[in-house]
Amino acid sequence: MNTMNGENEHNEETFYPGPSRSHLAAFPPKERWDDWTELDSQAWPRRKERHYSLVPTTCFNCESACGLLAYIDKVTGEVQKFEGNPEHPGSRGRNCAKGPATLNQIHDPDRILYPLKRSGKRGEGKWEQTTWDSALDDIAARIRKAIVENRRNEIMYHVGRPGEDGFTERILAAWGVDGHNSHTNICSSGSREGYQLWMGLDRPSPDHANAKVILLISAHLESGHYFNPHAQRVIDGKAKGAKLIVFDTRLSHTATHADYWVAPYPGSEGALLLAIANYLIQNSLYNREFVRRWWNWVEFLENSSEFRVSSFEFDHANAEQVSKHRDSDADSQARKGGLAPQRGCPAGDPALPPPTFEQFEDQLKQLYAEYTFEFAAQESGVDARTIEEIAKLIATAGPRFSSHNWRSVSSGVSGGWTVARALFMLNALLGAVATEGGVFPNAWNKFVPKPIYSPPHPQMWNETQWPREYPLSMHEMSFLLPHFLKDGRARLDVYFTRVYNPVWTNPDGFSWIEMLTDPDLVGCYVALTPTWNETSYFADYVLPMGHGSERHDIHSYETHDAQWLGFRQPVKKADRQREGEEIDDTRQVNPGEVWEENEFWMELTWRIDRDGSLGIRQYVESKKYPGTRLSVDEYYEWIFDNSLPGLPDKAASENLTPLEFMRRYGAYEIKNKVGALYEETVPREEMEDINVDARGRVFTRAAKPASPNVVPIPSPNGDDDGRRLVGVQVDGEIKRGFPTPSGRLEFYSSTLAEWGWSEYAIPSYIKSHVHPDNLAADETILISTFRLPVQIHTRSANAKWLDEIAHTNPLWLHTSHAAKLGVRTADLLRVETEIGYFVVRAWVTEGIRPGIVACSHHMGRWKLSEQGQRQLMATVKLDHEGTEWRLKREKGAEPYESSDPDTLRIWWSDVGVHQNMTFPVHPDPISGMHCWHQAVRVTRAKDGDNVGDVFVDTQKSREVYKKWLAMTRPADQYSPDGTRRPYWMLRPLKPAREFYKLPEEKTQQPVGVE
């Protein structure tokens, strides 16, 4: 390596060492990215040179936003391949299979190239090509009318993978619309809730590379959150000797790399974690100093009388019994503002001695004593000695304990959020919080640069997305939308989906079809998408959007302890700009009339308010050329010039402007090693007329210092005199602390206690909706959410390389289970859910817990006609009689002629089964997360069953919806202060405080509650 490196140094070129770190370079030196030469592999054995421009962008095939480098042929001007971008701090030049497959997506012969307008009935499959002008004018006029008529709550934007940091939220804010709907409650709200209740911020940022012990409750090495950036750091950690523990009911790729793989009964993970916590507590193996300084134990003691860890007995058959908690003494106490104070520990009563840490330690020991290894073994089916071994191993990690849970169980079961809470409790016990090798709050490892305009947040509250039944939900109750509209709670005039396919992705897809085909419920549906998807068939407009190399976005993710910004860009535009061409619209370089969303949103906003009379146009107006629309170049130029510390100087050192620098390298690291911000001493300038309360919270009158980083942070309440919370007093010093109501890590959540859920105010275990107590004798659990490493939701169906590797989703079942059913691999099975069934092939394996079944995500894609991804979508017949819906496969995948000769080589026909349609909605009453695990009956297929068959009765979907809704504790019955939701909690487009107030009248009784 030294020789090679020496040569590079001699040439003043950058050397990127390859994985062997012995000789070969892994990437072309960046100094040669304007003209990189390679031999044409297809011309071999001739030595034909090809010259490339190497232009960075970021992958858009999952949220990680890894860096890509487009190799643009200097002769044809076309992208020849994508490889990793070594200048990207998150991915460091590496990608998973989906990154390079971006090439397939841009050359996909089935992609949508022109704006389309429905010409028949919705869902009939008749389309006519329209112009962008005509579509924009029509949609803009509808939105303007709704705004002028004060029907702002009829405008909704529903996004799956945003892939950007706040651009579209600001567009909605400019319109004054509280209409941001996301997919988060079918994705990660469970984990987010658990993390936010502890540390204020809702995601972990683990430092796997420096950990001594890593505990994962997700399949990080194949599909987890921040998949490639985290996977490579897990492997880095292992290479340095870290031990890897994986909890996964299924033998995932991650599990195959583990030192300890345990396959617990689904939903029992919380019991395992609390047993480990109990071991640390009973044996005093926790970091006493950290717990004493940073847990809100004083607040706990003040509220701890008669307190005990309680289990949520989820009554699957009789939801009303669950609601009995509403009238419990504990709750009526909680509604009054907390549990009864413990004798000797009253809040701020100077007459009594202050609570001591030793008192807390005594209580902690008592509270968790019931979580023995034997209890955990009984719940999980994992051997007690194995749990003990794992606990002992974790105890050795100290502050170098990294852990992560994102989807997996926390998105699978009711009370899944308590798993993330129990997991982070281990970090909080070990003091492995914002340490090298520990876990950081995500926002500390994230940088969202201040944009050119920041419109005020909307002056309204959208009850359709933030209904009062779910005051603590982490995100919008998006997957209940069809039910809310059917309830008559609202109608939509203009509904957008973007990177989102709810008919396929969400549970209860037939209810979505019923909603979208009813013009009384949805006036105009606009699908923004690069490819056909199951939802777009029911749209009024299908508008073609660019892939990762055809659009702009910026983003920053918590991949490790650093802050970086990635820049997604249309690579052909950047290439032609390098050559001196003027390109002011991505449609000039994209295929057909494919556009990018940022330009689309700006143009739409401009047309909504052409004359500026609504006060909207100003947010998309050029500062350089007043009276004209902002361009994306000016938008990003402003951000890179003004909001990225150090970038202008760094760019200048290479004789580049900041925008040129980002176009050339695609990423910028703002800071490496952010460290423990909670320990930062609050500077003197921020202390003005301070007030320190009885719990050590420090409030100031000093304004919050302006920051170029506008990453969303929770906003805990100030004091009664209008000061803001600035920090906490710890051992006489004023520290920055955590963005929680107490300023500390919240072992005790006053939020849960005050909003009617006092029984879960400290980390607890909840017996889930699929706990054995709640299953009938012939039911088992279906795990339906696991991903395959090479596919991503429904977005990668147009990548032929990926489709060839993974194109079907048989039902995993254990050998012993298969023997009982008398089935073998490839036999047909019928899987019955609460509302219907699907028919799937069996895959018999030892790689799953006996008795549990699993079916992967991504597959079972379908189309109603030839429009769609022919490589991975079956052609189906969709039928219904009343509320009974049937989907029947008419044709699987097969070879076909297209502009790509490879489509004639398709050798597979089975594309799997669409299982999500047969799942009813299961909204967790606290986090709002859809609980994906299903109680199912698995039998051999019946006569007449065919692979891919789906049957559902949407009347039954309604019944299940009402049953789960009845478990909620709505704000208008439980709010401690007359508000809809705790103001401090994170929320996209957070309205001003006055809009948090509940209306006087109780406008909406929860359905199903007498």
Kindly state the smallest distance separating residue 647's Cβ from ligand SF4, in Å: 23
- Quick check: 96 binds ligand SF4 (CB under 6 A)? yes
Kindly write out the interface string for residues 178-217 of this chain, putting x where it contacts ligand SF4 by CB under 6 A and - elsewhere: ----------------------------------------
Kindly state the smallest distance separating residue 67's Cβ from ligand SF4, in Å: 9
Kindly state the smallest distance separating residue 203's Cβ from ligand SF4, in Å: 16
Kindly state the smallest distance separating residue 848's Cβ from ligand SF4, in Å: 25
Distance between alpha carbon 986 and the CA centroid of its chain, in Å? 14
| Structure token pair of residue 927 | 């986090």
Kindly state the smallest distance separating residue 219's Cβ from ligand SF4, in Å: 13
- Quick check: 95 binds ligand SF4 (CB under 6 A)? yes
Written as one string, the DSSP assignment of 514-529 is HHHT-TTTEEEEEEEE
Nearer to ligand SF4, 97 or 676 (CB): 97
Nearer to ligand SF4, 225 or 576 (CB): 225
With CB under 6 A as the contact rule, which of the stretches 59-67, 245-253, 664-672, 712-720 interacts with ligand SF4? 59-67
| Structure token pair of residue 938 | 């698995």
Pick from 54, 55, 66, 874 the residue near ligand SF4 by CB under 6 A: 66
Give CA separation, 11 vs 1, 7, 8, 87, 90, in Å: 15, 6, 5, 19, 27
H/E/C letters for each residue in 532-547?
A: CCCCHHHCCEEEEECC
Kindly write out the interface string for residues 567-586 of this chain, putting x where it contacts ligand SF4 by CB under 6 A and - elsewhere: --------------------
Contact 23, 37 (CB under 8 A): no
With CB under 6 A as the contact rule, which of the stretches 63-71, 249-257, 412-420, 809-817 interacts with ligand SF4? 63-71
Nearer to ligand SF4, 499 or 844 (CB): 499
Pick from 65, 413, 423, 670 the residue near ligand SF4 by CB under 6 A: 65
- Quick check: 56 binds ligand SF4 (CB under 6 A)? no
Kindly state the smallest distance separating residue 231's Cβ from ligand SF4, in Å: 8
Nearer to ligand SF4, 91 or 742 (CB): 91
Q: Are strands 828-832 and 16-17 parallel, antiparallel or unpaired?
A: unpaired
- The count of other CB atoms within 10 Å of the CB of residue 257 is 18
Size of the site for ligand SF4 (CB under 6 A): 13
Closest to 410 in 3D by CA, of 126, 240, 204:
204
Nearer to ligand SF4, 391 or 859 (CB): 859
Pick from 25, 54, 62, 823 the residue near ligand SF4 by CB under 6 A: 62
Q: DSSP 3-state helix, strand, coil percentages of the chain (rounded to 5)?
A: 30, 20, 50
- DSSP E strand stretches across 710-861: 724-730, 733-735, 766-767, 780-783, 811-814, 828-832, 836-845, 853-854
CA distance 970 to 755: 9
- Quick check: 67 binds ligand SF4 (CB under 6 A)? no
- Quick check: 787 binds ligand SF4 (CB under 6 A)? no
Nearer to ligand SF4, 229 or 431 (CB): 229
- Quick check: 564 binds ligand SF4 (CB under 6 A)? no
Cis-peptide into 923, omega within 30 deg: no
Nearer to ligand SF4, 268 or 791 (CB): 791
With CB under 6 A as the contact rule, which of the stretches 55-63, 479-487, 631-639, 824-832 interacts with ligand SF4? 55-63
Pick from 61, 287, 462, 774 the residue near ligand SF4 by CB under 6 A: 61
- The torsion region of residue 353 among left (phi > 0), alpha (psi -120 to 50) and beta comes to beta
Nearer to ligand SF4, 557 or 812 (CB): 557
Nearer to ligand SF4, 65 or 376 (CB): 65
CA distance 844 to 824: 6
User: What is the number of alpha carbons within 13 Å of residue 134 lying toward its C-beta?
Assistant: 11
Which residues in 73-92 contact ligand SF4 (CB under 6 A)? 91
Kindly state the smallest distance separating residue 90's Cβ from ligand SF4, in Å: 8
Pick from 55, 59, 112, 554 the residue near ligand SF4 by CB under 6 A: 59
CA distance 39 to 9: 24
CA distance 22 to 666: 27
With CB under 6 A as the contact rule, which of the stretches 95-103, 213-221, 651-659, 803-811 interacts with ligand SF4? 95-103
Angle at 334 between CA 332 and CA 336, to 5 degrees: 75
Cβ-in-10-Å burial (0-12, 13-18, 19+) of 561 comes to buried
CA distance 806 to 792: 11
Number of H helices, E strands in the chain: 29, 38
Nearer to ligand SF4, 62 or 79 (CB): 62
Residue 753 has φ and ψ, to the nearest 5°, of -60, -45
Q: Report the length, in residues, of the chain.
A: 1010
Nearer to ligand SF4, 198 or 226 (CB): 226
- Quick check: 557 binds ligand SF4 (CB under 6 A)? no
CA distance 340 to 537: 56
CB under 8 Å to 936, separation ≥6 — which residues?
A: 779, 780, 781, 782, 831, 832, 833, 853
With CB under 6 A as the contact rule, which of the stretches 13-21, 31-39, 56-64, 607-615 interacts with ligand SF4? 56-64
CA distance 935 to 925: 18
DSSP category for residue 156 = E
Query: Which residues partner with 1004 through β-bridges?
Result: none
Pick from 28, 99, 270, 925 the residue near ligand SF4 by CB under 6 A: 99
Nearer to ligand SF4, 96 or 280 (CB): 96
| Structure token pair of residue 465 | 């997305």
- Quick check: 817 binds ligand SF4 (CB under 6 A)? no
- Quick check: 359 binds ligand SF4 (CB under 6 A)? no
Pick from 14, 53, 57, 64 the residue near ligand SF4 by CB under 6 A: 64
Nearer to ligand SF4, 224 or 925 (CB): 224
Which H helix or E strand runs over 357?
helix 357-368
Pick from 88, 98, 857, 963 the residue near ligand SF4 by CB under 6 A: 98
- Quick check: 843 binds ligand SF4 (CB under 6 A)? no
- Quick check: 227 binds ligand SF4 (CB under 6 A)? yes
Q: State the residues that interact with ligand SF4 by CB under 6 A.
A: 59, 61-62, 64-66, 91, 95-96, 98-99, 227-228
